[in-house]
């Protein structure tokens, strides 16, 4: 099924270039950097720290269920999936589209577009079965027509023909917004110099090993040599001395060589390893990840647990909250927006051991925050009869309804809570 068949019958708007924002994506040939390396989105993900950071953030968001909740009076209910109507609870909890994508894959792909392109576009076509599709951010851009209406221009890859999709069908999330507020900018826009230095460092490291751990040398010959002769001598030396298999191999030079001297500038003397470590630390900062999550530091268990909570509040929430808010606006009617909303289950990320989890559920049940059956549901256990009652310790009394005052004895002292 071609995606073009899902386009609604809309006349092509007259685009107003002066009003439309311009995206700041990395060009296909990459950003030029001071290190001399061209940084593309694909090349940046060959850096181990950036690759791992991208996967940590996208996987953690993908693991959290995105639930649809409805407030009925003072009671909050989770909307159940409906495979017939294909409601949002079904699309987010079972499968977002007719291709059989899983919710995990759908959420992960959106976050990866967001991280490296600064934008992600989720299309909910009004034609055909209700579903959620991802429009590639490198071929999609928000535009305005001459009347000031917002559209999204997307260029399909199979025919390179631009089409215009009404804004009501697109959920657009962005990070690092530009001055217009309509275009986001990915991590690579700001971290390209750091990525460039790291790519150059890895290339230098590779050259270092390929040359048999000898970074350079110079040979002084008797008499003058033309370019061909110099080239032959250089090739002869490299054939004998280059490569890890030639490490410590004996060099045999004839009498025409008057001087041979290696240039032994060790990487440690150039603070090479320190610069690689500093670049990795900068990449952690660009992605907003604590270093211990990328195997760069060892801390006490309690400290790491606290850092993980800080990571949820300080890093992941900046991706979760905009998604929750945008989903309420784009995926619900105005009447539904009054009492229906979306919420990521953040508790699913804070995995606890069985002892701590049991103590937490027990405390909530004994303090009237949840029923025993609600606690059992969190453990994927069946409910039982009588388990829907709320409980509270008997020695805790209501402030608004204090017990009747005892009479007799000290009648004149009236105390109140």
What pLDDT is stored for residue 162 in this prediction? 87
Query: Can you tell me the distance from the alpha carbon of 370 to that of 402, in angstroms, rounded to the nearest whole number?
Result: 24
Q: Say which residue the tokens 């999330």 belong to.
A: 173
Contact yes or no for 293/56 (Cβ under 8 A): yes
The more confident residue out of 401 and 286 is 286
List Cβ<8 Å contacts ≥24 apart for 110-115: 110/134, 110/173, 111/57, 111/58, 111/61, 111/62, 111/319, 112/54, 112/58, 113/137, 114/173, 114/174, 114/175, 114/184, 114/186, 114/319, 115/54, 115/57, 115/58, 115/175, 115/186, 115/187, 115/287
Contacts of 113 (CB under 8 A, 6+ apart): 119, 120, 121, 134, 136, 137
Q: What is the mean pLDDT of residues 51-74?
A: 94
CB burial of residue 175 (10 Å; 0-12, 13-18, 19+): middle
Please tell me the total number of residues recorded for the chain in this structure: 417
pTM: 0.76
Q: What is the mean pLDDT of residues 385-403?
A: 74
What pLDDT is stored for residue 361 in this prediction? 81
Q: Give the pLDDT confidence of 68-115 residue by residue, as tens digits.
A: 999 998 888 999 999 999 999 999 999 999 999 999 999 999 999 999
Contact yes or no for 140/153 (Cβ under 8 A): yes
pLDDT band with cut points at 50, 70 and 90 for residue 147: confident
Q: What are phi and psi of 75, to 5 degrees?
A: -110, 135
pLDDT(122) > 50: yes
pLDDT band with cut points at 50, 70 and 90 for residue 243: low
The more confident residue out of 406 and 83 is 83
Query: Can you tell me the distance from the alpha carbon of 310 to that of 291, in angstroms, rounded to the nearest whole number?
Result: 13
pLDDT(247) > 60: no
What pLDDT is stored for residue 125 in this prediction? 92
Q: Give the pLDDT confidence of 162-205 residue by residue, as tens digits.
A: 889 999 999 999 999 988 889 999 999 999 999 999 998 888 77
Query: Can you tell me the distance from the alpha carbon of 251 to that of 225, in angstroms, rounded to the nearest whole number?
Result: 21
pLDDT band with cut points at 50, 70 and 90 for residue 27: low
Tell which residue, 175, 133, 186, 173, has the closest CA to residue 1.
133
Contact yes or no for 240/249 (Cβ under 8 A): yes
Query: Can you tell me the distance from the alpha carbon of 414 to that of 405, in angstroms, rounded to the nearest whole number?
Result: 8
The full DSSP string for 283-310 is: HHHHHT--GGGGTS----HHHHHHHHHH
Q: Give the pLDDT confidence of 294-305 residue by residue, as tens digits.
A: 876 665 555 555
Angstrom CA distances, 304 to 49, 54, 299, 357, stand at 19, 20, 6, 18
What pLDDT is stored for residue 260 in this prediction? 66
What is the share, in percent, of the chain residues with pLDDT greater than 90? 40
Give residue 231's Cα distance to chain centre.
49
Arithmetic mean of pLDDT over the chain: 81
């Amino acid at each position: 099924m071609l995606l073009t068949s899902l386009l609604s019958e809309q006349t092509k708007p007259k685009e107003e270039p002066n009003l439309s924002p311009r995206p700041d994506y990395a060009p296909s040939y990459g950003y030029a950097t001071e290190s001399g390396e061209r940084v593309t989105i694909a090349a940046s993900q060959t850096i181990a720290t950036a690759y791992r950071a991208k996967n940590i953030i996208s996987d953690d968001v993908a693991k959290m269920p995105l639930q649809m909740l409805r407030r009925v009076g003072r009671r909050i209910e989770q909307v159940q999936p409906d495979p017939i109507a294909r409601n949002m609870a079904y699309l987010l909890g079972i499968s977002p589209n007719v291709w059989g994508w899983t919710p995990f894959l759908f959420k992960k792909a959106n976050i990866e577009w967001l991280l490296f392109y600064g934008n992600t576009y989720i299309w909910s076509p009004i034609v055909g079965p209700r579903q959620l599709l991802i429009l590639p951010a490198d071929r999609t851009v928000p535009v305005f027509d001459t009347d000031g209406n917002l559209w999204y221009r997307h260029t399909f890859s199979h025919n390179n023909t631009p089409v215009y999709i009404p804004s009501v069908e697109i959920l657009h999330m962005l990070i690092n917004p530009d001055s217009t507020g309509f275009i986001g900018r990915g991590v690579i826009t700001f971290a390209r110099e750091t990525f460039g230095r790291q790519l150059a460092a890895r290339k230098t490291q590779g050259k270092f090993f390929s040359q048999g751990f000898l970074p350079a040398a110079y040979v002084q010959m008797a008499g003058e040599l033309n370019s061909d002769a110099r080239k032959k001598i250089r090739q002869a030396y490299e054939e004998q001395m280059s490569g890890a298999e030639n490490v410590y191999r004996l060099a045999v030079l004839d009498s025409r060589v008057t001087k041979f001297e290696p240039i032994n500038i060790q990487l440690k003397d150039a603070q090479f390893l320190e610069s690689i470590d500093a670049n990795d630390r900068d990449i952690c900062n660009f992605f907003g990840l604590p270093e211990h999550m990328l195997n760069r530091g060892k801390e006490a268990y309690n400290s790491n647990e606290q850092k993980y909570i800080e990571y949820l509040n300080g890093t992941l929430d900046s991706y979760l909250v905009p998604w929750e808010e945008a989903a309420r606006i784009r995926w619900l009617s105005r009447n539904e927006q009054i009492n229906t909303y979306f919420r990521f289950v953040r508790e699913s990320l804070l995995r606890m051991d069985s002892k701590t989890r049991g103590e937490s559920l027990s405390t909530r049940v004994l303090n009237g925050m949840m029923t025993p059956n609600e606690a059992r549901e969190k453990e994927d256990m069946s409910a039982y009869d009588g388990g829907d009652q709320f409980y509270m310790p008997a020695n805790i009394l209501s402030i608004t309804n204090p017990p009747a005052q005892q009479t007799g004895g000290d009648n004149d002292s009236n105390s109140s809570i």
